[in-house]
Amino acid sequence: MNRFNARSFALATLFATGLFTSGAALPQAKAQNAGTAARVNGVVIPQSRVDLLMKQQMGRGAPDSPELRARVRDELVSMEAVSQEAARRGFDKNPDVQVQLELARQNILAQAYIADYISKNPTSEATLKAEYEKVRSTLGDREYKVRHILLKSEAEAKELLAQITAKKVTFEKAAERSEDPGSKQRGGELDWTPPASLVKSFAEAMVKLKKGQTAAAPVQSQFGWHIIRLDDERPLTAPPFDEVKQQLAQRFQQQAIEKAIGEVRAKAKVE
């Protein structure tokens, strides 16, 4: 790869990873250095722009280093040069480009608002622990290793179940006809799961089975008709709180985002 292509690739990568488009850090970003990072055809690139992008990169786990700062500055120079050339050729007057610029502006402002909302409405440790206990209590104390074959019609399911019962075909082979792409290649096998994670009709039929037993009749759900076989069961050991804390926090954050958007939309006059 020559130098030109390497630089172009780096610029494209920064676009793709959101270095120049992410607004999540905007509410916390403040210009720490009012100096000039570079000039491109007389246009100043302020040091504060480098500082902002560095803060975003460090927020993603990148360590602060002279090399990274130099790369960020270099890409900002490339960005400015390309932007100037695009404007010189009139691309900024293109209606599609103007729409994209406006959408980018709106997106950055919206992200700034949401980030500010989340920072002012944090989820407490107590709330996360309470949710953890709530979820853990709904899972029950057993989990099951089960296989199933999903078919579109009851008649088809009964016909295939009869073949399995008569040992004309193995359950695993019959699973190749399943409408469930996630399990058909594994002989219908599902991961270990508690009943609460399954649709009600499926779970109710499953917990009545003994190890190695296939349900005597297909079970209907909103997905179709299931032929179910229980392979094993065991006590359910819930993951410790610290292991799922981040996942719970993300769930609450998503709820906060939806609430923030809902509150603003409720006040908006939409015609």
pLDDT tens readout for residues 213-237 = 999 999 999 999 999 999 999 999 8
d(CA 155, CA 120): 57
Mean pLDDT of 200-204: 97
pLDDT score at 13:
38
d(CA 206, CA 225): 14
Q: Is the pLDDT of residue 175 over 60?
A: yes
Q: What is the pTM of this model?
A: 0.58
Would you kindly state where each structural domain of the chain is located, as residue ranges?
3-100, 142-235
Q: How far is CA 143 from CA 66, 99, 139, 231, 235, in A?
A: 52, 52, 9, 11, 6
pLDDT score at 33:
44
Instruction: Classify the phi-psi angles of 139: left when phi > 0, otherwise alpha if psi is within -120 to 50, otherwise beta.
Output: alpha
Class of 142-235 per CATH?
A: alpha beta
Helix or strand run (H / E) with residue 231: strand 224-235
In terms of pLDDT, which residue wins out, 18 or 161?
161
Q: Tokens for 270, please give them.
A: 């939409």
Tens of pLDDT, residues 76-135: 999 999 999 999 999 999 999 999 999 999 999 999 999 999 999 999 999 999 999 998
